[in-house]
Structure 1
């Protein structure tokens, strides 16, 4: 095959969603409460579909099950990663995710959820909730039971270009006015700790998962240290944000022409800004803001040309 797999995303409506996915990426969104673009996904709750080449019309999950050679024969029973773009038009619930062991036991064999965020854009003065102040489980439970959220939750400022690594067990929430690219394990398990007592259109509050949250939260909070590493070569500046157990994530700032050797079983790529061309085995593919693609195992070398920013990840 020797060609990239371009993908049609799936959109998810959320109580906190907005229109930024249409306004910034020109996506055809289902409503003005669209919170998530599942851009590269093999998860059963929203699968991306291939739009080009011999596998057009196939989902990532189907390719993972039927053509594992495209992914270097990777041993995971499911496609292991999920790339999303999140439009936090309002505050997300304060939440925490389980690790693999807990999820396997309590969530029907689902993967745990370690994730990371690249801040694409945000309002002036935007912030997020990242971690908590409790030193012990008793203190954590007491602050939840007494509704002492302002004392319990750590808030930190964010700006475009920031990157955050969010291991399972981390209390977190994106806050209003942030647009984020998320790379995560392929999991849809979220435990809500607090949802600001807000109600949906029918007047109902959303379900909370206090007991499970207490069981999986890391106490005391541990900051995941991110030390970006920048390498410059002709035509591209590559920033490695994280190299961790479940994924490695990079930003490619392309300005001109650059060639690459694929040294991973497969790579996931999302164009966040600009435009250009991807060349594989003499074939040219145009790239523009909002495009998402996979470079499968049989793409051994490739070239990019243009002026664009991409977020790239691999297992």
Structure 2
């Protein structure tokens, strides 16, 4: 079996820019392109396979008709979604529901736990992560009174940082950040605050204050940012998070290294550098911006080159 390469999809966002073209040489549709849906089977953005015998099929079609490719993993939906986000301006302050709330209130949608790897950012970049309310009543009151500077927690970010963003976390990327996002396969976002900005037609974007208050974790829970790194002469592998939703790792390749693959499937994104991926029957050139899936029956493969890769699996 070969790796499955994906054709990415691009989304206009009011806060987007041109970094996806400038940094990855992607062909973007506008100068306000905020999101690259790099590996996605969601109905709002379903990537197609670009190589091999499944070329031309969407990822959702492949999941539904050839589940053996994914190790017969359970579930009605492909569980993960990989994006690259260009925050050329501040994103809305937002929060995502968990599986139970989304299933009831969003027509069976999955919840949205996600995580961010900072690919690049401005020197003074920051993000909103968490809040200072001690009760849901206080949260509701501070939102109603527009006490954003007192309510929202801001943290500095730098290139190479990682943030785990469980459902229920108030958060927002801020201007000047380029991020790889690994998330549950969901497109449900509740906006708490959007800086009172308007679109090209003078309209403010919809807010979802009541739902936001209902799903926000109160009080905010800080994450334990302890990572494990394994090193050899040809690669470093850092495990950022491993839980019921996904495991996410950074792979820094600086030579030739052999890997055994024992997961139902794994999602790979090349963030920098170039090299090759070799199986028992084929070899594939890899370059910055490539996104692919290692299927269940690709038990062994070799990476060779100088690359920075983020990969994930269930």
Matched, 1:292 2:301: no
Q: 1-side partners of 2:180 and 2:153: how far apart?
A: 22
The CA deviation at 1:201 is 0.7
The CA deviation at 1:202 is 0.6
Residues 115-264 of structure 1 correspond to what in structure 2 (within 5 A)? 115-264=114-263
Can you give the 5+ residue segments of structure 2 that lack an aligned partner in the other structure?
none
The CA deviation at 1:226 is 2.2
The CA deviation at 1:48 is 1.0
The CA deviation at 1:245 is 1.3
> Residue deviations 1:187-243, cap 9 Å, x none?
000000000000111110000000000000000000121211000023110000000
Aligned partner of 2:110 in structure 1 is 111
The CA deviation at 1:139 is 0.9
Q: 1-side partners of 2:19 and 2:305: how far apart?
A: 25
TM-score (norm 2): 0.99
Runs of 4 or more above 6 Å deviation: none
Aligned residues: 314
Contact 1:234–1:257 under 8 Å retained in 2 = no
Q: 2-side partners of 1:296 and 1:139: how far apart?
A: 48
Q: 2-side partners of 1:247 and 1:224: how far apart?
A: 16
TM-score (norm 1): 0.99
**What is the alpha-carbon root mean square deviation over aligned residues?**
0.5
Contact 1:167–1:224 under 8 Å retained in 2 = no
Give the SS at the match of 2:40.
Answer: strand
The CA deviation at 1:86 is 0.1
> Residue deviations 1:255-311, cap 9 Å, x none?
001101002110000000000000111311000000000000010001100000000
The CA deviation at 1:244 is 1.3
Aligned partner of 1:314 in structure 2 is 313
Q: 2-side partners of 1:39 and 1:164: how far apart?
A: 19
Contact 1:192–1:210 under 8 Å retained in 2 = yes
> Residue deviations 1:127-185, cap 9 Å, x none?
00000000111111110010000000000000000000000000000000000000000
Give the SS at the match of 1:124.
Answer: coil
Give the SS at the match of 2:285.
Answer: strand
